[in-house]
Amino acid sequence: MADNKDANIDHGPGPLVMKFGGTSVGSPEAIIQTINIIKKQRQEWKQLVVVVSAMSGITNLLISCANDAAADNREGYTNSISLIRKRHLETVNDLPYSAQSREKVNATIQEYLDRLHNYCVSIQTMGEVTHRGMDAITSLGERINVRLISELLLEQAIPNQPIDGDQLIVTDDTFQNARPLRELTIQKVNTLILPLLRDNVVPIITGFLSGTEEGVVTTLGRGGSDYTAAVLGDCLGAQEVWTWTDVDGVMTADPSVVADAKVISHLTFDEVSEMAYFGAKVLHPKTMRPLMEKDIPLWVKNTFNPSFAGTYISNETQKTTGVLTCVTIIRDVSLITVRGKGMLGVPGVAARTFSAVAKKNASVLMISQSSSEQSICFVILNHDEIKVIQSLKNELAFELSSGDVDAIKAISNVVIITAIGAGMCHTPGVSAKIFGALGKKNINVIAIAQGSSEYSISMVVAKEEADAAVQEIHTEVIINGTK
């Protein structure tokens, strides 16, 4: 494990890639912290690469602009554009720019907001926003922010170069959830980034956005700046990747839900992938993949508490203190049940059920089948519910009319709670403890599934009971379970 506390240590040949999330660059105070961290690490590492998100809340506002424009709501999008303008101008006003730089940055903000306005007018005329159009719009938050930060770093005599992700990370054309193409990205990295590093210039790169081979803007999915940092870490052969956020590291539960959640000092990539997949928002679920293959360690650190070590994530298995490491929530999901006595032993119903879901491009987050084979239950995102139910009714129309399938039902407003821990598979009785803890609080478990990795167990509970369920599993199994 690298000791990153000592100054001037030889970290080896590759660079350090640091990513700053939305809250780390979302206010003047946060930006000052970020600048100080960059200055400090520049002293300690021979080569530094910085990835920057949009200010917290800006991507949501950009999405509202696009949706309002598509809904012919001019007032809605002009209000959101004003909010975006105000937030950036006020932030710039409170930062120590020279008069000349402030003017330059303000002009840049205006330029991007003009572009946003033009996009909105086109969307309003068309009456719809495509995934491709949404990517063009949502990419603007990061584009503005790298320029704002780059200029401030120049004022502090840190030579740097702002770079847009669509010039650097080459992806397929799955808009809003694009897949990076590694070889093409390496070529871009070699031509654009390596010369800067050789000249001791810090690249300041937009997180989240990327581009197709033809240069069309794509994005890597919400929260995708973490993934940007990991992809660059891999393509650059980085020594380490650090993501800077607003909490002390990866914790035993979401600290905004569980007040006594604890920081986990060391985790494996597998464990964190499972946590992120099941809703621990602190890292984008795909972040770990490129890093684990190359064995590049990942640190999660707190911008507002930079002297705290944070969480170290690597391929090394750590000594766990308890059987459960973490409990997570995925909100806004629906449980779909396809049920019928005639399904018993009929081959192909499950396959057709899932192909009907796939046809609508909806992801299945969890599957649970009753042992009698008379029903199939699975969980999808709320916003896919209507189209998935319709698709299932079409696909199973014959079985519904013959009575072999007697119900296709959705329970909206549920959540998935997942208990995760590598120690789980070797320890009997963990499930009993989890369900015992929920039973004590009269929390009804609607469906259960065990993760294929055998170190997670997921439960569906009503939305109203979500926070209590997480709190109870955390107290009874994670905190008391390790005593």
Instruction: Specify the residue, 282 or 333, whose C-beta has the smaller distance to ligand ADP.
Output: 282
Kindly write out the interface string for residues 35-54 of this chain, putting x where it contacts ligand ADP by CB under 6 A and - elsewhere: ------------------x-
Residue nearest to ligand ADP as judged by C-beta position: 21
Tokens of 53: 């998100």
Instruction: Specify the residue, 250 or 376, whose C-beta has the smaller distance to ligand ADP.
Output: 250
As a whole number of angstroms, the distance between CA 210 and CA 215 comes to 9
Residue of 223, 290, 310, 451 interacting with Mg ion (CB under 5 A): 223
Segment interacting with ligand ASP, rule: CB under 6 A, options 3-11, 221-229, 415-423, 460-468: 221-229
Which of 340, 330, 390 is closest to 370 using CA atoms? 340
In the beta sheet, which residues pair with residue 356? Answer: none
Burial 199-213 (b: 16+ CB within 10 A, else e): eebbbbbbbbbbbbe
Q: Answer for the pair 209, 139: CB distance below 8 angstroms, yes or no.
A: yes
Q: Answer for the pair 446, 412: CB distance below 8 angstroms, yes or no.
A: no
224 near ligand ASP, rule: CB under 6 A: yes
Segment interacting with ligand ASP, rule: CB under 6 A, options 29-37, 53-61, 96-104, 400-408: 53-61
As a whole number of angstroms, the distance between CA 247 and CA 252 comes to 12
Residue of 245, 268, 325, 456 interacting with ligand ADP (CB under 6 A): 245
Q: What's the closest the beta carbon of residue 470 comes to ligand ADP, in angstroms?
A: 10
Q: Check residue 443 and report its DSSP letter.
A: P
What residues from 428 to 457 belong to the interface with ligand ADP (CB under 6 A)? none
Kindly write out the interface string for residues 4-23 of this chain, putting x where it contacts Mg ion by CB under 5 A and - elsewhere: -----------------x--
Instruction: Specify the residue, 135 or 254, whose C-beta has the smaller distance to ligand ADP.
Output: 254
**Overall size of the chain counted in residues:** 483
Which of 163, 242, 218 is closest to 196 using CA atoms? 163
Which of ligand ASP, ligand ADP, Mg ion, none does residue 256 bind to, with CB < 5 to 8 Å depending on kind? ligand ADP
Which of 127, 140, 161 is closest to 53 using CA atoms? 140
Task: Spell out the residues 6+ positions from residue 370 whose beta carbon is closer than 8 angstroms to its own.
Answer: 377
Longest pairwise C-alpha distance within the chain: 76
Instruction: Specify the residue, 281 or 359, whose C-beta has the smaller distance to ligand ADP.
Output: 281
Instruction: Specify the residue, 14 or 224, whose C-beta has the smaller distance to ligand ASP.
Output: 224
Q: What's the closest the beta carbon of residue 219 comes to ligand ASP, in angstroms?
A: 8
164 near ligand ADP, rule: CB under 6 A: no
Burial of residue 48, with CB atoms counted within 10 A of its CB: 0-12 exposed, 13-18 middle, 19 or more buried: buried
Q: What's the closest the beta carbon of residue 21 comes to Mg ion, in angstroms?
A: 5
Kindly write out the interface string for residues 248-287 of this chain, putting x where it contacts ligand ADP by CB under 6 A and - elsewhere: --xx-xxxx-----------------------xxx-----
Q: What angle is formed at CA 462 by the lines to CA 460 and CA 468, rounded to 5 degrees? A: 95
Q: Give the helix/strand (H/E) hosting 419.
A: strand 407-420
223 near ligand ASP, rule: CB under 6 A: yes
59 near ligand ASP, rule: CB under 6 A: yes
Q: Answer for the pair 296, 234: CB distance below 8 angstroms, yes or no.
A: yes
Interface residues with ligand ASP (CB under 6 A)?
21-22, 53-54, 59, 141, 207-208, 222-225
Interacting residue ranges for ligand ADP, rule: CB under 6 A: 21-24, 53, 223, 245-247, 250-251, 253-256, 280-282, 326
